[in-house]
Amino acid sequence: MKTEADLAVNEKLTGRDFLKLADYSQHELMHLLQKADELKQKHKAGAHVEPLKGKTLGMIFEKPSTRTRVSFETGIFQLGGTGIFLSSDELQLGRGESMADTAKILSGYVDGIMIRTFSHDTLETFAGNASIPVINGLTDLYHPCQVLADLQTILELKGQLNNIKMAYIGDGNNMAHSLMIGAAITGMDMSIAVPDDYAPESSIVQKALDIADNTGSQLEVLSDPKAAADNADVIYTDVWASMGQESEAANREKNFAGFQVNTSLFGVAKDDAIFMHCLPAHRGEEVSADVIDGEQSVVFQQAENRLHAQKALMAALMS
């Protein structure tokens, strides 16, 4: 049975956008994670929960995807609604129609929009002109849906987020940005190890530090992977060259030498540490096969939780 507090949070979330984690309070994020766990347990038990019956989610993709498309499309279906895949090449966007016009038009057709795109400014422009909830499926700056699933996974395996240390090893990219903000909001400690010239955006680091001042989270950006991984509960990495950076791959491989998560690096973490990766992974580059395919890897539990976390998000925003 829903409490008055639950109903109050639900009311605050209905109709909101989900563009970045920093727009949400600790209480709101924990509410979403609790809802994600409830929906997962009901799904595993074979129960049908359809709060979005008759609702439609439009899904705009300027970047291709496996996990984002399948998890959102499956998730809206399981919630009783319908998902429509909208490739930017197939929309009038591909022929010059503006994001603002597209947002206004789609607002009259569907009940929510998920966008996976390159520029975060593009997402902000769309959301600023839409009258329906807009969800960030990924931009070059943030990947909040992935981190929502990551936090759910850590909660499942560790039972808490505060007093947990995550070490992120690799590129200071959209994953590093969202993980920092997510850690700061939930009170999780985080050490980031990045090569010179690949640090996270300084403004986002400062934002995370400002949030951490209120939650007790300890955040640091280092250049030594072993120092970051020392005594960590979670080791996390991502590809060295993200989508759109293929031309930099060879140069990045040289610059990231020494930042591979392998058994030597993993060995300085806690004995019961878990390995996480947002996928897809390049075995032999950012992570060795024996780590990602080892017993302490939880990458496929993470991937599955994209479905449940995003169901909780859609149910909250679109109901």
Q: What is the CATH number of the domain that holds 260?
A: 3.40.50.1370
How confident is the prediction for the chain on average, in pLDDT?
Answer: 95
Residues 159 and 65 in one domain: no
Q: Is the pLDDT of residue 94 over 80?
A: no
Q: What was the pLDDT predicted at 143?
A: 98
Residues 257 and 174 in one domain: yes
Residues 9 and 78 in one domain: yes
Calculate the dihedral angle through the C-alpha atoms of 204, 181, 114, 283, rounding to the nearest 10 degrees. Answer: 90
- Among the listed ranges 88-102, 137-151, 156-170, 176-190, which one has the minimum average pLDDT value? 88-102
Residues 127 and 66 in one domain: yes
Place of tokens 């969202």: 178
Q: Is 66 among the annotated ligand-binding positions? A: yes
Residues 41 and 101 in one domain: yes
Could you tell me the two tokens for 63?
Answer: 């970047």
pTM of this prediction?
Answer: 0.96
Secondary structure (DSSP) of 100-151: HHHHHHHHTT-SEEEEE-S-HHHHHHHHHH-SS-EEEEE-SS--HHHHHHHH
Nearest by Cα to 220 from 183, 175, 185:
183
What is the count of structural domains for the chain?
2
Q: What was the pLDDT predicted at 300?
A: 98
Residues 312 and 252 in one domain: no
Q: What was the pLDDT predicted at 4?
A: 67
pLDDT category at 1 given cuts 50, 70, 90 is low
Query: Is the peptide bond preceding residue 144 cis, with omega within 30 degrees of 0?
Result: no
Residues 256 and 231 in one domain: yes
Distance (Å, rounded) from C-alpha 86 to C-alpha 201? 30
Q: Is 68 among the annotated ligand-binding positions? A: yes
Average pLDDT over residues 168-191: 98
Q: What was the pLDDT predicted at 130?
A: 98
Q: What was the pLDDT predicted at 119?
A: 96
Residues 153 and 287 in one domain: yes
Q: What was the pLDDT predicted at 241?
A: 87
Residues 284 and 313 in one domain: no
Average pLDDT over residues 164-189: 98
Q: What was the pLDDT predicted at 6?
A: 72
Residues 13 and 113 in one domain: yes
pLDDT tens by residue, 108-150: 999 999 999 999 999 999 999 999 999 999 999 999 999 999 9
Taken in order 84, 21, 144, 37, the sign of the CA dihedral is negative
Residues 53 and 157 in one domain: no
Residues 279 and 296 in one domain: yes
* Residues catalogued as catalytic: 116, 143, 146, 238, 278, 306
Q: Is the pLDDT of residue 95 over 90?
A: no
CB atoms within 10 A of CB 247: 9
Could you tell me the two tokens for 272?
Answer: 């019961």
Q: What was the pLDDT predicted at 165?
A: 98
Q: Is 305 among the annotated ligand-binding positions? A: no
Report whether 33 contacts 149 (CB < 8 A).
Answer: no
Domain range for 163: 145-302
End-to-end CA distance of the chain: 17
Distance (Å, rounded) from C-alpha 293 to C-alpha 315? 33
pLDDT tens by residue, 241-293: 887 778 888 999 999 999 999 999 999 999 999 999 999 999 999 999 999 99
Q: What was the pLDDT predicted at 2?
A: 65
Average pLDDT over residues 179-194: 98
Average pLDDT over residues 42-57: 97
Q: Is 145 among the annotated ligand-binding positions? A: yes
